[in-house]
């Protein structure tokens, strides 16, 4: 007389090591990510072949239609805030690639009248 015992399933491979690797990768990417503030409106910066990069917290954004943004200020309200800055660092400008040159020149002229710190135009490296 022979009794058939139910066969045991072989133990499956543990997924815990894979979960550990995924969490380590997640932590790595979170720690190495560069978090930057979002633009106040959609911008497509022009391309550049320069390797030079600039970093600043205060940026003057200029949209394709000429809208201005500086921190929380919008429109013509940006000029008094730029003039009242404490530091003498150049003003960083991020303009849309389709912003007309005449409009950009007018904003640069106005910028020159409210500050003497100069300006840096930020473009994408192409």
| Domain coverage including residue 68 | 47-125
Q: Is residue 32 part of a domain?
A: no
What confidence score (pLDDT) does residue 123 get? 61
- Comparing C-alpha atoms, which of 40, 42, 98 is closest to residue 69? 40
Q: Is residue 83 part of a domain?
A: yes
Q: What pTM value is reported for the model?
A: 0.54
Q: Total domain count for the chain?
A: 1
Q: Is residue 23 part of a domain?
A: no
User: For the chain (length 126 residues), average pLDDT per consecutive 10?
Assistant: 72 86 92 78 71 64 88 88 79 85 86 76 56
Q: Cα separation of 97 and 25, whole Å?
A: 36
Q: Is residue 11 part of a domain?
A: no
Tokens of 46: 């022009």
What confidence score (pLDDT) does residue 125 get? 46
Distances 58 to 32, 52, 55 between C-alpha atoms, Å: 23, 18, 9
Tokens of 62: 């200029």
pLDDT (tens digit, 9 = 90+) per residue, 70-86? Answer: 888 899 898 888 888 87
Q: Is residue 95 part of a domain?
A: yes
């Amino acid at each position: 007389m022979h009794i058939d015992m139910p066969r045991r399933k072989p133990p499956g491979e543990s997924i815990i090591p894979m979960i550990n690797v995924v969490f380590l990768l997640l932590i790595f990417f979170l720690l190495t990510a560069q978090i930057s503030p979002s633009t106040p409106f959609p911008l497509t910066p022009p391309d550049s072949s320069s390797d030079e990069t600039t970093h600043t917290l205060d940026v003057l954004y200029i949209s394709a239609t000429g809208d201005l943004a500086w921190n929380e200020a919008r429109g013509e309200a940006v000029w008094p805030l730029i003039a009242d800055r404490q530091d003498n660092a150049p003003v960083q400008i991020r303009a849309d690639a389709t912003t007309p040159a005449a409009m950009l020149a007018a904003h640069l002229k106005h910028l020159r009248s409210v500050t003497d710190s100069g300006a840096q135009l930020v473009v994408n490296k192409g």
